[in-house]
Amino acid sequence: MDAVPAENVPALVARDVWKQYLLGDVTVNALRGVNLQLPAGRFVVLVGPSGSGKTTMLNLAGGLDVPTKGELLVFGRRLNDMNEAQLTEYRRREVGFVFQMFNLVPTLTALENVRLVAQLVGNDDLAADTLAAVGLAHVADHLPSQLSGGEQQRVAIARALVKQPRLLLADEPTGALDVETGLEVLGLLWHETRKRGMTVMMVTHNTILARLGDIVVRLRSGQVIEVAPGEAVHPSELTF
């Protein structure tokens, strides 16, 4: 029952979201009453030091975890009340993930990794094109162990893109790459998601990378301390 036009629905709405973990006997507040509204179709960068709650925020948005308290809506859908089957369906249809360590299936080739997910959502015919779009058509038959880190991350991006999700979540996507490769990968991500009009939430602890975002969300100690418009610069313009 989506009465509001899709483009007008915020990508993410967090209302007083808390996330608590039990670490032994100690309760850790990973998120403490986060309130946030992110418009759709933007490149959002979440920055903050270690332990600020940015990855927790990403995990909640991706349906990998559920808030302890508060309300979380992604494209108008309330995640709090979803059961495991609904969360799986949500992840399958709405979300694409790009991990720091790529997380490719080691026994499948680059193309097969993309096709695996493409087949899951019925987009098998897009797999080869998507891999080509990330510039890896020539290594389609290579296993992950035969690819460089940058190439592996590009496959991971292709795998995320092929589902054509509305929300793409990237957790330190350049964390395992050297600066140059990292920028190349970010360039690809930046370009391809914009081309497809996807909402991107990218987590980084690197403040320079925050310049990429249309919106920059700063977190500290589990709280949002600032939501500001970003510079939206192209990764190629970044200097370290």
Partner 1 sequence: MNSPSRQSRLYAVPMLRRKLWADTRALARQAIALMILVALGVGLYVGLYGAYQNLTGSYNHIYSITHFADASVLFDAAPASLVDVARTIPHVRAAMGRVVKDGSIIQRGRRRERVLGRFVGLPRRRPPINDLVIVEGRYLAAAHEAVLEHQFAAENNYKVGDVIKCSYQSRERRFTIVGLACSPEYLYPVPSKHVVFVSRGTFGVVFIDQDQARQWFGTGRRITEIHCLTDPGYEKEVLEKLEGLAHSYGVETSYVQDDQPSKRLLRLDQQGFATMSFFFPILFLSSAGLSLYSALGRIVRLQIGIIGTLRACGFSSRQILTQYIMQGLLVSLLGAVPGLAGGYALSVWAASNYGAVLRLPYMVTSPHWDTLSVGMFLALVTGLVAAYLPARMAARLHPAVAMRGEVESPRRLAFERRLVRITRLATIAYRIPVRGIFRRASRTLLALAGIVGGASIIITTFGMQASTMDAINELLSGTRKYEIDVQFTSPRALSLGRAIAALPHSNAFTPTVSVPVRIKTGWGSGDVVLTGIEHGQRLLHVHSVTGEIIDVTPGTVWIPKQLAARLHVEPGDPVVVEWIKSSRRHRVWTTMRVAGITDVAIGATAYGEFHDVRRSLADAVFPQSSYGGLVACDRSQVPAFTHRLERSDDVALVSTTADVEQEINEQMALMFIFIGILLSFGMLLAGSAIHTVASVSLLERTRELATLRTLGFTAGAAAWLAAIELCILAGMGLLIGMPFGVALNSLYMSSFTTENMSFRPVLPWWVYLVTVLIVAALVALSSYEGMRRLRTMDLAQATKARE
Residues numbered 27 to 66 that lie near partner 1 (CB under 8 A) are: 55-56, 59, 62, 64-65
109 lines the binding site for partner 1 (CB under 8 A): yes
Instruction: State in angstroms the smallest separation of the CB of 100 from partner 1.
Output: 8
Within a 13 Å sphere around the CA of 125, how many CA atoms are in the beta-carbon half?
0
Strand order in the sheet with 26-38: 26-38, 12-23, 69-74, 77-78
Task: In whole angstroms, give the CA distance from residue 218 to residue 225.
Answer: 6
H/E stretch holding 135 reads none
Of these, 6, 27, 89, 208, which contacts partner 1 (CB under 8 A)?
89
Alpha-carbon distance 151 to 156, whole Å? 9
Distance separating alpha carbons of residues 167 and 129, to the nearest angstrom: 20
**Residue 22 in contact with partner 1, rule: CB under 8 A:** no
User: 10 Å Cβ neighbour count for 51?
Assistant: 14
116 is a contact residue toward partner 1 (CB under 8 A)? yes
- Which one of residues 42, 54, 154, 163 is an interface residue with partner 1 (CB under 8 A)? 163
Residue number with CB closer to partner 1 (143 or 227): 143
| Closer Cβ to partner 1, 14 or 215, answer by number | 14
In the complex, which residues of this chain contact partner 1 (CB under 8 A)? 55-56, 59, 62, 64-65, 84-85, 88-89, 91-93, 97, 99-101, 103, 105-109, 112, 115-117, 119-121, 141, 143, 145-146, 159, 163
